[in-house]
Every structure is written in structure tokens, then in C-alpha cells.
Amino acid sequence: MKNPLPSSPSGLPSPRSGFHVFQCSPSVPSASGFTLVEMLVVVAIIAILASILIPSVGAAQKSAKKRKAEVECNAIKTAVEQFFSDFKYMPWGDPDDAKSRVGDDAWTQTPDEHKNAMSLLRGENKLRKAYLEISTRDAKDSSSSEEDEGIFYDPWKNPYHIGMDRNLDQQVDYTYGGSTKTYKTRVLVLSNGPDGEPDTDDDIRTFDLILD
């Protein structure tokens, strides 16, 4: 008679008998994914960072627009002065009409006056010389019409205003709201600034000295 299968102390067949006993360890929860609390913490951090960064970006954009307007005002002023140096009259009116070359101080108040000055400065003159390389079309929006062609807009989509010393007295008068200010300069260029209103504190202008 054959010997019975050897058994373990517990009474189960011994592993050496050809039977294998598999022991299962307790399952460990997966570490992937976020808990609700973790998600709320992330959202709170993003909100805090946004509240800090958004005002800073807005301030930087405002400062950049102001600087751009200052640079362009000075570029226009320099262009007019160089034009005067070559032609001995301001870029105003009909260049072929000697009577329109001199007269009272003039401001580019209407679109046609503005376009005329810009065209003369951009090379449509007897010398075919360009004094202003900046593009004079900064469209107000995607629906801008042909009427916007030739108008030099500031960063707030308003035309620059140019005052010229046409009577050659080395100064330009600026009148607004019943009061007149006199600036000791041949050319005065100004932007109405962010609010788009003339003669307010946020205006950007080139001037040398106010004469009372």
C-alpha cells in the first residue's frame, strides 16, 4: 500500500506534492487622479494668480500705448520740421499755390486737411521725398472704409492733430474752450489720449514752452 500524500501541519497538501498555494495580498487603492479638495486648491491658486497678473498686464498695455503715442507725435513733428527745412513752407494746402503756403497758424481739424498733410510728408511732394515712414493707416476696426486711408490714427483710434506755424513767427496758437495757449515751436502735434477728449489731463502733445 502506498503512503498517503504528505500533508502540512494544517492538514493541507504540502507544496512539495505538486500543488501550489497562491496567497493574495490586500489590494492597494490607485494613486492616480485628484481628490475634490486638491482640485479646489488648484482652482483657488489659479484665481489668486489671475487676480495679481491681469491688472499688471492691463497697466503695461496702457503704458505701452502712451509711449507709442509719444513716439509717433515726435515722429510727425520731426517730419514736418524736415519738410519745412527743405521747402521753406509747411505741408499745408496746395503746394503749387504760393498764397496757401503762408498765412495764419493752421491745425489739421478735418480729415481732408489731415490727409493732405500726410500725403505731402509721405512723399507726394515736388522732391518725391518721404519724411514720414510710419504707415498712415491704423484702421479703427476691421470694417474701416476707404475714408480711413491716409489718416494717421493714435493708439486709441483717433487722428493725430497737427498745428503748424504758417505765419513764421516761431510759435503756434492752440485754442480750445474759449482759451488760447501759445507754444514756442514751429510744430505742435497732439493726441487726445485714452479718453479721446481734447484739452484734458491725459492729452499727449509735443511742445517746448508756453508763452503767456
Each residue's pLDDT expressed in tens, for the chain with a length of 212 residues: 555 555 555 555 555 555 455 555 555 555 556 788 888 888 888 888 888 877 777 788 889 999 999 999 999 999 999 999 999 999 998 878 877 778 888 899 888 999 999 999 999 999 999 999 865 455 454 445 555 778 899 999 999 999 999 999 999 988 877 788 888 899 999 999 999 998 888 999 897 666 65
Contact status, residue 49 vs residue 41, Cβ threshold 8 Å:
no
Distance, first Cα to last Cα, the chain: 135
- Residues 112 and 92: their CA atoms lie apart, in Å, by 11
- Residues 72 and 65: their CA atoms lie apart, in Å, by 11
> Which SS3 state, helix, strand or coil, does residue 205 take?
strand
Q: Name the pTM for this structure.
A: 0.70
In the sheet that holds 106-107, the strands lie side by side as: 106-107, 161-164, 187-191, 204-205
